[in-house]
Each structure stands twice: as structure tokens, then as C-alpha cells.
A = this chain, B = another copy of it.
Amino acid sequence: MSAETPAETPASPPAPSTPLTYEQSGVVYDLIDPLKVAAQRAAASTAPLLGAHGFGEVAASRGESAYVVDVGPFYLASIVECLGSKALVADEMQRLTGRSFYAGIAQDTIAMAVNDLITVGATPLVVQAYWAAGGSDWFGDAARAQALVDGWKRACEVCGVAWGGGETPALAGIVEAGRIDLAASCTGLVNPKTRLTLGDRLAEGDAIVLLASSGIHANGLSLARKLVERLPQGYLTPLADGSTYGEALLAPTVLYSPVTEALAKDGIVPHYAANITGHGWRKLLRHPGTFTYRITDVPPVPQVLRFIQQQAQQDDEEAYGTLNMGAGFALYVSAEDAERTVKLARDCGVPAWVAGSVEVGPKRLIVEPLNLTWDADALQLR
């Protein structure tokens, strides 16, 4: 659960000569985005239906990482999230090493859901498992299946959530033979309601605290997998610390809910929170308001991310705009709470840094040490 120290000396082999962008890795947002917009509009139109039950949505949660409903004594938050293609790395590494990495990707899957749910101030309570295999025979590898169960359980324990149940369909013809589509749904409560962190309290002078990632987490894997084609030793390419590229990619995503729960226990309510997943550091622009975010300290970059940046010939703008580069989660807190936030995170085993602050100004992210700037149009989620 701790961030790797940066590897400033690149591991072998030397970087190839042509850069690799995220679009080249196969995900074409132009095709997906029209559907997303249509779905978001249709979804938003259903909100008034809650009125018949005496409840109402918290409209500000539309476009945020979890959906929030006001049910009276507290807010109800829910989400479903997908692991993505990290399972393919686990499969290939099992083929190469004989070891199962499914305990780790179980944690990744839960992290995808839990780390999004907590951004609204919710305590995650129940996780449901969605494990859709490409056929009944997927479950015949008992050691792999047990690793998945064990890792899932352990991640629930770390987050203090009950594993409610789930669905384990065999979907031959939809999921590819030998593969599994892993997802998790998570339900939680914002309780007391004052813990809601949809951003209305964000203000000039607030501190930006970054929490360490453990590596690539579960975003950017399409790029990371594409890169393997350029590496003569593929996933077994050694990194500077002796681990292989494949092992380093499979470091499980940090679960951040112990940190947000520790803050709540200590009376700290963040003014906003952002899970740094797809779009990398551009997620720091997620808050709907107009602020300038100035980052003055940049956390150490996990070795595997520096390796990807070098091998893909990405400049810092491309790398930080795509990958987490060492910061997996951002907490925007009162300046006076900043150091205590860092301490509480570290007490949970998660390195953290007061990395910057919120300023009055145009919507903009400035990463001073890297001389990078992104404007409002760098992140279009709504």
C-alpha cells in the first residue's frame, strides 16, 4: 500500500524511438462519448421519480464519481465500477510465472468502486461482486478462483465493508473463453449528512493533499499492455528494483477508504475529493467550480510509471494527463487541516503530501515543478 520510490535511472531496454499515445492503445473515446452523453441525459431525466418515494437526488452528484440520494436521515451513495483490462495482465503473468495474481486484481476491482464512492463523503458499507467468466471452465482453476475469493475478502476487510453477495455468470459467447470480466458495485451512506463532499465548501486557500498510488492502479492498462509488444522480454522485463514489469503493473490499487474514515473520525471533512483514475492528473480539475489549482510539490513517481513514460516516449504533459504518476487520490481540505490530513493518511500506511493549493482564478491546473498547465477544456466529464 505504499508508493514506490522514483527510479530516475531507466531500466533496460532503452526507450524506442516512436511515442505511443493512449488512443493508439485501442480505446476510442469519440465512439463511446455520444452514447455516454445520451445515457447521462436519460439518467438525469429519471431523478424526479424519487419524489414518489418521498426522496430526492442530490443533483450536484450528477457528474461526480458516485450518485447520491437524500433519503432523510442520511444520504445514500451507490456506484458500479469495472476493473477494465488489468485481468489480461494477470492472465498473461500467470501463464509466464505459474503464479496467480487474482488476489491483487480482486483488490483492484473493489478499489475502483470504493475509491470512487468515498469521493462524495460516503462510508462504503456493502460490496457486491460481479464476476462474469467466459465459460464454466474458468472456475475450474481452483487456485485462481480461490485467490480471487481471498483477495476480495481481504479488500472488504481493509475497507470495513460487508461483502453482500454477487453474480458469477458463465457467459460463453459474450466474455472470451478463458477470460473474466470483473466489476463491483458498492453502496454506502453519507452519515452524518455533514460529511457530504460535493464541493460546495471548496474555497481559495484550501490545501490539495495528494495520496500516494501504488503504481498504475487500474487505469492506463491498455497503454501498458500495448507497450509490451515493444519489449523483447515483454512482461518479464526487469525494472531497476529487480521486479518485473508485469509484477509491477499488478501492484494492487491502494484502498483509500481507511484514510477518509480516519479523517471523519478526527473531525476533518474534506471540501472536495477526486479519485485520480483515467485522465490522470487532469482529474484534479474535476470540481465544477472555477478555481486555479496550483501544485508546488510533486510526489515521487512509482518506478513502473516512469518506465511506461520512458518506453512510450511520453512527455510529462502526456504522462501526467493520462496516468496517476504517483498520486492516486486528492483531498482538498482547509489549510489548517492539511498537515493533520497528511499525518492521518500516513498512519493508515498511505504516504501523503501537501502538494498545492486552491486559488481564485480561471479554471486551470498548474503543476509548477513540471512547468505544466491544463485549462478547463482538458477535462470534459459533464
Contacts and interface: CB of A to CB of B under 8 A. Distances in A.
A132 to B, nearest CB: 6
Given A27-B136, A126-B69, A179-B174, A168 B36 contact: yes
A169 interface: yes
A180 B172 contact: no
A32 B132 contact: no
Interface stretch (A38-46, A204-212, A241-249, A341-349): A38-46
Given A76-B76, A142-B34, A46 B136 contact: no
Given A52-B160, A163-B43, A168-B39, A67 B123 contact: no
A307 interface: no
Nearest to A124: B53
Given A174-B180, A185-B78, A125 B55 contact: yes
A248 B126 CA distance: 37
Interface stretch (A7-15, A145-153, A268-276, A308-316): A145-153
B82 A171 contact: yes
Residue from A50, A53, A168 whose CB has the most chain B CB atoms within 10 Å: A53
A146 B126 CA distance: 32
B168 A32 contact: yes
A297 interface: no
A3 B110 CA distance: 40
Nearest to A79: B128
Contact of A46 (B39, B146, B153, B179): B153
A150 B40 CA distance: 12
Contact of A181 (B69, B80, B153, B174): B174
A129 B80 contact: yes
Given A31-B139, A176-B176, 14 more contacts: A26-B170, A27-B170, A28-B137, A28-B170, A34-B139, A35-B149, A42-B149, A49-B156, A52-B160, A69-B125, A69-B162, A88-B174, A174-B181, A185-B185
20 contacts: A28-B136, A34-B145, A38-B145, A42-B152, A43-B153, A43-B162, A43-B164, A52-B160, A53-B123, A69-B125, A69-B162, A72-B73, A76-B187, A78-B78, A78-B164, A78-B187, A85-B172, A85-B174, A174-B176, A181-B181
| Minimum-distance CB pairs A-B, first 10 | A67-B164, A185-B185, A43-B163, A28-B136, A42-B153, A80-B128, A31-B136, A35-B145, A46-B163, A80-B185
